[in-house]
Structure 1
Amino acid sequence: MTLATDTTRPRRMPQSLIAARNIIGFLLRSPTSAFGLFVLAVLILTAIFAPLLATHDPFLQDLQNPLQPPGDGHLFGTDELGRDIYSRLVYGSRISLMIIFLVSIVVGPIGLFVGAISGYFGGWWDTILMRVTDIFLSFPSLILSLAFVAALGPSLNNAIIAISLTAWPPIARLARAETLTFRSADYISAARLQGASSARIIWKSIVPMCLPSVLIRLTLNMATVILTAAGLGFLGLGAKPPTPEWGAMIATGRRYMIDHWWLVTFPGLAILSVSLAFNLLGDGLRDALDPKQMNKR
């Protein structure tokens, strides 16, 4: 005799998907967070579909139509070499997104690892790692990035490395503070009594608890990363012409900005919009991941 099974029962949604749905719903209910989420969605879609959205070849020079104002076949006008500014902005979104992605995957793990090790073990580990962190924090990020790029050589790849080397200390400080709070918790003591190694405790118990705060900090740091990358490009130490990087576009257009405002206005607005979006999204994530807010939901 076989027992009939109920195949009509709906499958339960995984907890991770439920949490992600709740967070996105919370962000969309806040106008400022929704604006940040919308701008970043536009940035990602623009980078993916850049060949479809661009109206011209971003590298094609038209020396017969330089410095044309917006309109007449060029939505944002042309630069000093007749290149379409709108198309260059569209392809420049790929560079900005690449910088954000590469810096995030480097800075997040380094800062989280240094902070967790320092906070969990304490003693000499804490003293040495935090003094190194303090050295990096004692310099403004842009100045320190300039020093690293000067040592490595001016290029986009070296600019990304330099930004990554200067952006991890705040993450490490935050992870250390979180670890100091969690390491004396009862469940950590129980794990020690059961014979769990320090590496397992850090990886299985400490790191997951630090991730929400680190994610929020990373999101807020991305505005600084974008501005630093644009600053390096403006100073000629980042992306090199004819690469359509927004900071480099402002650098090449500053000589003509008095009479041809569109050369720097539209790249500047792009940098402003993305930086503002990350700040607003970071504030929204901080509220969404707040335990008090989560309890209300």
Structure 2
Amino acid sequence: MTEKTPYATRPAPDLEWLRSLRNIVLYLARTPTSAFGLLVLVVLVLAAVFCPLIATHDPYLQDLQNTLAPPGGAHYFGTDELGRDIFSRLLYGSRITLTIISLVTIVVGPIGLFVGTVAGYFGGRVDMVMMRLTDIFLSFPSLILSLAFVAALGPSLNNAIIAISLTAWPPIARLARAETMTIRKADYIAAARLQGASPARIIWRSVVPMCLPSVLIRLTLNMATVILTAAGLGFLGLGAQPPMPEWGAMIATGRRYMIDSWWLVTFPGLSILAVSLAFNLLGDGLRDALDPKQMNRR
């Protein structure tokens, strides 16, 4: 009799997932540009989590006797027009940036995947209706459309997140639709259909996993646009409201003094630049790491 392979020796799905994740992280760490992006994002997360321990001052505490102080030992990045420590405000502002990124990703990813996979799988009128709706959102610049939504909802951080989410899902839907249309006629999709699987099951179990790598890369690359849009809304007074230490709002309040007090806009601007660049570099690295050709070489 032929011995059957014991169940215990079969590769566990969880171990395969962890092994794939480890390989991706190792690939990113070996690439200088991707490693820089990953390092910046790790610093962002650590700053957001441990900012109460790292911050040297209360970010909301005003010291009117020490306004517009230049960078020095007492205040690493100087103080603003109200005497608040800019270094501490940047650290606490990383929490706002991370919150915006997380919530937008949670909202945009599922919406874009749902619209794109359903439209690409069914085609016909379903595809036409969903894609025409997507085209309406794509016809407006994301910042202009976000301004319109925030103006209608009212200026606040939560409304800014909603507005950004409503304008960021169309590119994800377009990408998911293109991926779905290339795989919907595959043999394994036809086999699942012949076995009686419902369209919802086929989309969820067979189509969505194939679209996830491309969608993940697109989401990572989109985060730079999300950060810039959130900073733009904060700069215009439509995002986070004072005294919240949002980086765009800090630039808006410091631009009146930037001729003599350059640090008011320099450090928040560099923070926005570094995080946006990090997401772009990390997205490029993920695109190479998830490329089947690169995976075969490894």
**Is TM more than 0.5 here?**
yes
- Could you report, residue by residue, the CA deviation over 1:187-236 in whole angstroms, capped at 9, with x for unpaired residues? 00000000000000000000000000000000000000000000000000
Instruction: Give yes or no for the alignment of 1:125 onto 2:131.
Output: no
Superposed CA deviations along residues 48-81 of structure 1, whole A, max 9, x for unmatched, are 0010010000000000000000004000000000
Count of residue correspondences? 288
> Take 2:23 and 2:182, find their aligned partners in 1: how far apart are those partners?
26
Alignment-derived partner of residue 90 in structure 1: 91
Deviation by residue 1:5-27 (Cα, 9 ceiling, x = unmatched): xxxx9x97710000000000100
1:115-165 residue CA offsets vs partner (Å, 9 max, x unmatched): 000000000110010001011011110000000000000000000000000
Take 1:210 and 1:217, find their aligned partners in 2: how far apart are those partners?
11
Can you list the C-alpha shifts for 1:261-285, whole angstroms capped at 9, x where unaligned? 0000000000000000000000000
Runs of 4+ in 1 over 6 A off after TM superposition: none
Which amino acid letter does the alignment assign opposite residue 201 of structure 1?
A: I
1:170 matches 2:166? no
Quick one: which amino acid aligns to residue 278 of structure 1? F
Structure 1 residue runs without a partner (length 5+): 1-8
For 1:135, the equivalent position in structure 2 comes to: 136
Q: Mean Cα displacement is larger for which, 11-20 or 227-236?
A: 11-20
Letter in 2 for 1:246: W
Match of 2:218 in 1: 217
Query: Secondary structure of the equivalent of 1:259?
Result: coil
Letter in structure 1 aligned against 2:41? L
SS of the residue 1:255 aligns to? coil
In structure 2, what is the Cα distance between the partners aligned to 1:121 and 1:47? 43
Letter of the structure 1 residue corresponding to residue 262 of structure 2: W
One-letter identity of the residue aligned with 2:119: S
RMSD (CA atoms): 1.0
Residue in 1 that maps onto 2:18: 17
- Indicate yes or no: 2:262 matched with 1:264: no
Measured in 2, the distance between the counterparts of 1:295 and 1:180 equals: 25
User: How far apart in 1 are the matches of 2:126 and 2:261?
Assistant: 56
**Residue 280 (structure 1) aligns with:** 281
Matched, 1:59 2:60: yes
Matches for 1:242-257 after TM superposition, within 5 Å: 242-257=243-258
1:193 aligns with: 194
TM value normalised by structure 2: 0.95
Q: Secondary structure at the match of 1:64?
A: helix
Query: For 1:139 and 1:53, how far apart are their aligned partners in 2?
Result: 41
Query: How far, CA to CA, are the matches of 1:44 and 1:67 in structure 2?
Result: 28
Match of 1:116 in 2: 117
Partner of residue 294, structure 2: 293
Look up the match of 1:6.
none
Task: Report the residue type matching 2:238 in the other structure.
Answer: L
Q: Which residue number corresponds to residue 37 of structure 2?
A: 36
Partner of 1:202: 203
Alpha-carbon distance, 1:40 to partner? 0.1
Distance 1:183 1:72 in 2: 62
Cα distance between partner residues in 2 of 1:295 and 1:144: 42
3-state DSSP of counterpart to 2:200: helix
Counterpart for residue 162 of structure 2: 161
- Residue identity matched to 2:166: L
Letter in structure 2 aligned against 1:172: A
Query: For the residues of structure 2 that align with 1:175 and 1:191, how far apart are their CA atoms?
Result: 20
With normalisation by structure 1, the TM-score equals 0.96
For residues 173 and 188 of structure 2, what CA distance do their matches in structure 1 show? 23
Which runs of no fewer than 5 residues in structure 2 stay unpaired?
1-8
- Partners of 1:290 and 1:137 in 2: how far apart? 27
Which one-letter code corresponds to 2:86 in the other structure? Answer: I
